[in-house]
Amino acid sequence: MNQLDKKSQAWSALFSEPMSELVKRYTASVFFDKRLWQADIQGSLAHAGMLAAQGIIAPEDLTAIEKGMAQIAQEISSGRFEWKLDLEDVHLNIEARLTQLAGDAGKRLHTGRSRNDQVATDIRLWLRDEIDLVSALLDDLQKALLEMADRNVEVILPGFTHLQVAQPVSFGHHMLAYVEMFSRDAERMADVRRRVNLLPLGAAALAGTSYPLDREMVARSLGMDGVCQNSLDAVSDRDFAIEFAAAASLAMVHLSRLSEELILWMSQNFGFIEIADRFTTGSSIMPQKKNPDVPELARGKTGRVVGHLMGLITLMKGQPLAYNKDNQEDKEPLFDTVDTLKDTLRIFTEMVGGITVKPEAMEKAALKGYATATDLADYLVKKGLPFRDAHETVARAVKAAMSQQVGLAELPLAVLKQFNVAIENDVYNVLSLRGSMNARSTLGGTAPGQVRAQVARHRARLAQRP
């Protein structure tokens, strides 16, 4: 039996009794961290290549390690690899198998390395690649929203504040608000990536190592942007994972806000949209129901991802330097955050493409809420009234219209004139939903010209991304 196989009994000659079964289960991570196997092998090969280049191991050792790792990769991807709880984690499992296959060369792999810098490297490699997938999915979702925006520039939606009808806005404009949010999420991912993509290897257990390692070479061969500059920090901090979870939480919060709107809009009370049947579910008792399960679940899963952020940040707070086993707890929340975010982004991209917009219902709702009252006030300001007085005048007009259960535009000119003599026939254009929307032409406003300019800007921006 080699040293690693004996681990179930004791770590080394130092221990006088085997680890209890309960402790073995409690401390093992292999059943979740085996997910890091590709990064683990990738990191080991880079390390071994450097050891050979530096003359720390022989070229034959490197060849044997490479051959063994190729077979291990084969075994794992085909499901034939036997993961052993006794070997605690992904690192020891792979190393033990390598030693079976490559003999002493396998035992030399761990020269100048510790599991502490190994695991930190593995998570960073894994997370870097996942960030790239998340970023691509964020782009896909933005593109789907952009198409939706472009098709609906002229569709009028009641814009809300306090969920009360406020002012008419272009439905395209509303969609572009989400494009802005998700573009910031993508920027945050790119920013986090810069700090994730640095190499801990070479920090060894905590203090660095006495072997003449070339850390820059390892970083280069792993496509990393540089090396961590302090060995204690390199093995112990997981702030990059926390940052990622924070960026992921914000993206989920944005998805959750969109979910909430979709749920409201497809309810009978709004009736603004329909989402494709494949994204809804029926009720086992009420035959008339189509429930928005997908957006509801996305809203629910947002709580779960925010929970992971809280878990990760709390994990870090009491830890003295340097590595502590606490850090093994970083993996499950991180994995679940990535899985949840990617699934939600994928499903939303598809779902957005399958939304049917109902412009008449939106317009009808906008007409109900005196959405152009501000326009009447602005009209009076242009006739010379101070804004506060205009505001008060319009409030009286709205009150009168409400008591007759009509819209402002349905009041005859003679009635409107009672509120202010300066009101003329041209007021009816101002009071129309379209007139109101078209008038809001400040940069970033809802006037169709502005919305089209923003669509073009986002298109050009997204076309530049690989």
List residues with catalytic annotation: 162, 283
DSSP assignment string, 25-80: HHH--HHHHGGGHHHHHHHHHHHHHHHHHTTSS-HHHHHHHHHHHHHHHHHHHTT-
| R_g of the chain, CA atoms, integer Å | 31
DSSP assignment string, 214-229: -HHHHHHHTT-SEE-S
Cα end-to-end span (Å), the chain: 51
Beta-bridged to residue 167, according to DSSP, are 159
Pair 363, 432: CB distance under 8 Å: no
Q: Which is nearer to ligand ARG, 89 or 185 (CB)?
A: 89
Residues contacting 182, CB < 8 A, separation 6+:
138, 141, 142, 145, 251, 254
Give min distance, CB of 98 to ligand ARG, in A: 17
Report d(CA 427, CA 409) in Å as an integer.
8
Pair 94, 41: CB distance under 8 Å: yes
**Beta-strand relationship, 156-161 and 164-170:** antiparallel
Report d(CA 144, CA 458) in Å as an integer.
12
Max CA distance (Å), the chain: 102
**Residue of 96, 78, 70 whose CA lies nearest to 8:** 96
Residues contacting 41, CB < 8 A, separation 6+:
69, 72, 73, 94
Q: Which is nearer to ligand ARG, 231 or 436 (CB)?
A: 231
Number of residues assigned to the chain: 466
Distance, C-alpha 119 to centroid of its chain:
24
Report d(CA 65, CA 105) in Å as an integer.
6
Interface with ligand ARG by CB under 6 A: which residues? Answer: 29, 33, 89, 115-116, 119, 323, 325, 327-328
Report d(CA 299, CA 304) in Å as an integer.
9
Distance, C-alpha 235 to centroid of its chain:
26
* Tokens encoding 276: 């494709």
Report d(CA 40, CA 291) in Å as an integer.
43
CA distances from 291 to 258, 261, 303, 355 (A): 16, 14, 20, 14
